[in-house]
Amino acid sequence: MNVILFGPPGCGKGTQARRLEDRFNTIQLSTGDMLRAEVASGSEIGRKAKAVMDAGHLVPDGVMIAMIANRIDQPDCKNGFLLDGFPRTTAQARALDEMLAEQGLRLDHVIEITIDAAVLAERLAGRFNCARCGAVYHDKFQRPKVDGVCDVCGSSTGFTRRVDDKADTVKARLKAYDEQTAPLLPYYQAREVLRRVDGMGSIDEVTRQLEAILEQA
């Protein structure tokens, strides 16, 4: 099952993808996480991407397309994948179609997590991640069960906040989404693969809506 989770920064793509992986024996492919790993490793891609990401802009298509082409070729993608953060431009969407066609794969669903723009700033301002496994938390909506300890990996080594979750950068990221990524929705609607879930409910409620769609696949 190959699925795109679609929606603006902070709508819940990463949170939901991580919850769905085990249940559907699939794998989350987060281009944001891949880029942050490149930045952390100090690679050439990471050095070039860092300034772009910190400004809230999109990393060039060529870099992203090569990254995903290489990733979906790996053995752990054989049962399918949940794309989180890709495609983000028309060029990326077309390249994904070509990659899938070359491998005889199909896109089962593109699921847009819809959300009121007014709540995104609060979602992103309160986000923090486990420094060890990357699990996503929120100051108000998703606190660890035990303060200072990650629910997922049990680490108490600390939590981090993303540099690009600062208010000014969030504005630039939302602009990039509106101008370059949201225009992809009609592309997928025309192919009759686009589904929508209401991202305004609780995290559990959104998971239930997604599960209902994926169970039909």
With contact defined as beta carbons under 8 Å apart, do 53 and 85 qualify?
A: no
Contacts with ligand AP5 by CB under 6 A: the residue count is: 36
Helix axes 90-102, 61-72, angle to 10 degrees: 30
Instruction: Return the structure tokens found at 158.
Output: 């600390």
- Contact between 203 and ligand AP5 (CB under 6 A)? yes
Cα–Cα distance measured from residue 64 to residue 198, given in angstroms and rounded to the nearest whole number: 28
Q: Which residues, 6 or more positions from 156, have their beta carbon under 8 angstroms from its beta carbon?
A: 148, 149, 150
The token pair that represents 184 in the structure block: 């992809």
14 binds ligand AP5 (CB under 6 A): yes
Residue 3 touching ligand AP5 (CB under 6 A):
no
Q: Tell me which of 142, 149, 155, 187 binds ligand AP5, using CB under 6 A.
A: 142
Confirm or reject binding of residue 127 to ligand AP5 (CB under 6 A).
Answer: yes
Q: Which of 13, 19, 50, 109 binds ligand AP5 (CB under 6 A)?
A: 13
Catalytic residue among 94, 132, 161, 162: 162
User: Are 195 and 111 spatial neighbours (Cβ–Cβ below 8 Å)?
Assistant: yes
What are the residue numbers of the active site?
Answer: 13, 88, 127, 162, 173
Which residues make up the interface to ligand AP5 (CB under 6 A)?
7, 9-15, 31-32, 35, 52-53, 56-59, 64, 85-86, 88, 92, 123, 126-127, 136-138, 141-142, 164, 173, 199, 202-203, 206
